[in-house]
Amino acid sequence: MADARLQRLQLEMEREATDLVALLPGANLTYLSGLSFHLMERPVVALIPRVGLPALVLPDLEAAKLTASRIPFIPFPYGEDETSRSGAFLAMVKRMKVGALKVAVEYRRMRVLELRLLEKAAPQMTTGEADPLLARLRMIKGPAESDAMREATRIAERAFEQTLPAIRPGVSELEIAAELTLQTLRSGSDSELPFAPIVASGPNAALPHALPGERRLQAGDLVIVDWGAAHRGYISDLTRTVAIGTVSDELILVYETVRRANQAGREASRPGATAGEVDAAARAVIVAAGYGERFIHRTGHGLGLEAHEEPFIREGSDVRLEPGMTYTVEPGIYLTGVGGVRIEDDVLITAGGAESLSVYPRELRVISG
């Protein structure tokens, strides 16, 4: 499978007349090689040629990992001193005949550190963007990838169920986030979670990406819980909103509107539809209820090795959905100073329609206040 991935990348490079692709530690390098490196002060850079074997600059202390790589690399290890590191980059660009070639880099990941080292070693090279090319490789998941994401979703759902007893009046957002993290690991997640859980209560729930804080849950609150798990590197990303005791009539209306918007987005998901059409289906429900201006983000984003990757489910996107694409459907309404609601599910496009990988109940759960 890994060799096939490298071949697909090189075929795409041939189609686009791309000579070299530079990769840093992250999802793209892991996708191709199966290797994971930390993005740290010791640079790791892979150069993938249109034809031939890839090269990899890496610190001596990481060199043993290459025995586990799914694809062969020409290694260029270096030691702790600057001369050794510069020498490794010089040797790599010479071996790969970089010269004045155009190197496609990851715009979202390439740091100045690695870029300057490449430019110093190959001062005549030019750079372009690799992200669209790489996204085409990773957007369509194979059966093993889909199975891993399905299991990551099961793990996350089990973890939330085990965390529910901790969600009660008087408990802080931070305490709930800590319990959810623990339960996610106990339920079988990879040790590296996709992201830190979001737990936002009361007025804090009006902030889509609020950080858990010291605020303690109170009767009348809505509480947004956004979390995920990982299995074999592939992730899930879910959100549920719960009520603490009796909440206002408006918040009940907001919740039901978001639930119907979530359903509309999932029902609009099918092969041949565009990402923009899925967004429009979910958004129309919220607009019709009079809360269009309170839906302040896109309907969803792709999932895989990363929590945010292509395809992005947003207004006007003409990306056609194909079997194997996975993404979130997560409409929300946010009332400043009052609270908010978000309901998020993970969707897999299939040959005959779409599968919701997440099945956890979407009806409002009321916790005794």
Q: What is the pLDDT of residues 88-105, one digit of tens each?
A: 999 999 999 999 999 999
Contact between 163 and 146 under an 8 Å Cβ cutoff? The reply is: no
pLDDT in tens, 344-354: 999 999 999 99
pLDDT, average across residues 280-300: 98
Distance of CA 159 to the CA centre of its chain: 19
Contact between 152 and 230 under an 8 Å Cβ cutoff? The reply is: yes
pLDDT band, residue 285 (cuts 50/70/90): very high
Residue 2 has pLDDT above 70, yes or no: no
pLDDT in tens, 28-73: 999 999 999 999 999 999 999 999 999 999 999 999 999 999 999 9
Query: What is the share, in percent, of the chain residues with pLDDT greater than 70?
Result: 99
**Mean pLDDT taken over the chain:** 97
For residue 369, the model assigns a pLDDT of 65
pLDDT in tens, 103-150: 999 999 999 999 999 999 999 999 999 999 999 999 999 999 999 999
What does each C-alpha distance from 346 to 88, 156, 183 come to in angstroms?
A: 43, 11, 20
Enumerate the domain spans of the chain: 2-138, 140-367
Give the whole-angstrom CA distance, residue 322 versus residue 354. Answer: 10
Give the whole-angstrom CA distance, residue 199 versus residue 241. Answer: 10
For residue 164, the model assigns a pLDDT of 97
Asked if domains 2-138 and 140-367 share a fold, the reply is no
Identify the three-state secondary structure at position 274. strand
Residue 368 has pLDDT above 90, yes or no: no
Cα angle 192, 134, 239; round to 5: 40
Q: Which sign does the torsion angle of CA 351, 312, 345, 165 carry?
A: positive
pLDDT in tens, 211-247: 999 999 999 999 999 999 999 999 999 999 999 999 9
Paired residues of 341 in beta bridges = 333
Residue 189 has pLDDT above 90, yes or no: yes
Give the whole-angstrom CA distance, residue 114 versus residue 110. Answer: 7
For residue 234, the model assigns a pLDDT of 98
Residue 80 has pLDDT above 90, yes or no: yes
Q: Which DSSP category does 59 fall into? A: E
For residue 357, the model assigns a pLDDT of 98
Architecture of domain 140-367: Alpha-Beta Complex (3.90)
Residue 1 has pLDDT above 50, yes or no: no
Burial of 126 (0-12, 13-18, 19+ CB in 10 A): exposed
pLDDT band, residue 3 (cuts 50/70/90): confident
152: number of CA atoms within 13 Å, CB side?
32
For residue 272, the model assigns a pLDDT of 98
Give the whole-angstrom CA distance, residue 238 versus residue 328. Answer: 8
Domain covering 2-138 assigned CATH 3.40.50.300 in the classification: no
pLDDT, average across residues 331-360: 98
pLDDT, average across residues 196-225: 97
